[in-house]
Amino acid sequence: MTTPTAMRLFDPADFEIPEGCVSVCTGGESPFLRSHAEAYSRYAADKGNGSMGRTAIDERVHAARARLAGMWHTSEDRIGFSPSVADGMSLLAESLALRPGDSVVFAEQEYPSVVMPFLALSRRRGFQVRLAPNASQIPNFVDHGVKLIGASHVSYLNGGRVEIAGLRELADSVGALLAVDFTQAAGYTPIHADLCDFAFSSCYKWLLGTTGVAVAYWNRARQPDWRPNTAGWHSIRPSSIGGGPGYAAGVALKEDAMCFARGNPAHLPIYVLDNALQYLSRFAVETVDAHVHLLTTALLRGLRNLGFPVITPDEPDAHGASVAFEAPDSERLTDTLAGSGILAWGGVGRVRFSFHGFNAPEDVSSILTALRQTL
């Protein structure tokens, strides 16, 4: 394993980054790998090759699942795909027998894709959605009426990191499920999905993929009896309908996490994702994690010295790859930074800088210089 240095881990020339710009917006959208063009071409060739092409497409889906399973320290049968985190969480919410008297718990600042499927469903079914002021106070809202705890491993809002092992212990203490969104963590930090009952991740951020597909994880050892309560042709066992649609006799669902894909999974985004996973596999994830924390620590220190109202925890173990500060005019400030060649991410009253392997300490210096100029 290599150790992080002042050098970049990834070659910026491998990415579609505008010339002269510093890309620190991976928490919103990562720059595209140039080699994804080859993935597009491979998909086009396979798609046009009839049934043999479909076999090649299925093999690519298998390859992406296997690579993700290795990254997430789990088995391939527990890895599936959904169109988005919101779709995966919605399928999960709809499958649970939540009723009046039951509760689910999230942080008030949790990402909408995690909370909204349950909040919308609660209006029809009558169960309670409890919202803790922040992730650290979730334990104060958990009792034996709680059936599910949902959280992001790393916050989209301020980059703060939640300890998954602690949430697992909390969920077990009351017999609740644990559902985790790894979107702001997957791709640069080690993921141990088997601590969760269910987990999801978008693929267009640190995983270097694109929109249209998300990772959907089902812990079949912890929840062997779980099944979705909706289905499509792709999420059923092909043998269960024989030579024709024998629906009257009953149809069996797939018994692995691909039951999250009710219709065809998004094949082209999966080709892109598999290419991205191959690229990431060239670097030990622990090395990438250490590298981005070298950068976040330096930026946090610089922002505090300049007097910015930082909302990201200082300790490396307490935050992910992003640093954010409060800014009521965040959209305007983000546009101003873009004019100086700093591609950051704004909105919801804060400006956020997100690092990946193509960044280096000189990028931190460029950010601080641009912020001094705006002041």
pLDDT of residue 6: 52
Report pLDDT for 245: 59
pTM above 0.75, yes or no: yes
Q: Are residues 73 and 27 in the same domain?
A: no
Q: Which residues contact 11 (CB under 8 A, 6 or more apart)?
A: 358
Give the pLDDT of residue 2: 41
Q: Is residue 264 part of a domain?
A: yes
> Residue 37: inside a domain, yes or no?
no
303 and 345 fall within a common domain:
yes
List strand residue ranges (DSSP E) for 136-269, in order.
146-152, 177-181, 198-202, 214-218
Query: Residue 96: what pLDDT?
Result: 98
- 136 with 229, same domain: the answer is yes
Q: Identify whether 211 is part of a domain.
A: yes
- Number of folded domains that form the chain: 2
Query: 350, 157 in Cβ contact below 8 A?
Result: yes
7 within domain boundaries: no
Q: Are 130 and 199 in a shared domain?
A: yes
62 and 182 belong to one structural domain: yes
Domain final residue, candidates 223, 251, 280 = 280
Residue 342 lies in a domain: yes
Last residue of a domain, one of 231, 249, 280: 280
Based on the fold, state whether residues 56 and 188 are members of the same structural domain. yes
* Spans of the chain below 70 pLDDT: 1-6, 239-246
The verdict on 21 and 139 lying in the same domain is: no
**∠ Cα 52 88 46 (to 5°):** 15
Residues 313 and 247 in one domain: no
Do both 346 and 364 map to the same domain? yes
CA–CA dist 322, 279 (Å, integer): 22
Residues 259 and 333 in one domain: no
CATH code of the domain covering residue 59 = 3.40.640.10
Among 280, 306, 339, the domain boundary falls at: 280
Q: Are residues 161 and 297 in the same domain?
A: no
| 27-65 confidence digits (pLDDT tens) | 999 999 999 999 999 999 999 999 999 999 999 999 999
Domain of residue 303, CATH code:
3.90.1150.10
C-alpha 209/C-alpha 364 separation (Å) is 25
Q: What is the pLDDT of residue 240?
A: 55
**How far, in Å, CA of 286 to CA of 292, rounded?**
10
Flag whether 56 is in a domain: yes
Give SS3 for 79.
strand
Q: Does residue 42 fall inside a structural domain?
A: no
Residue-wise pLDDT tens digits, 234-260: 998 876 555 565 677 778 899 999 999
Residue 4: per-residue pLDDT: 42
Does residue 2 fall inside a structural domain?
no
Structural domain span for residue 229? 49-280
Report the pLDDT value the prediction gives residue 46, as an integer from 0 to 100.
98
The verdict on 227 and 201 lying in the same domain is yes
For residue 343, the cross-strand partners are 23
Identify the pLDDT of residue 248. 73
> Which pLDDT does position 242 carry in this prediction?
55
> What is the C-alpha to C-alpha distance for residues 18 and 7, in angstroms, rounded to an integer?
20
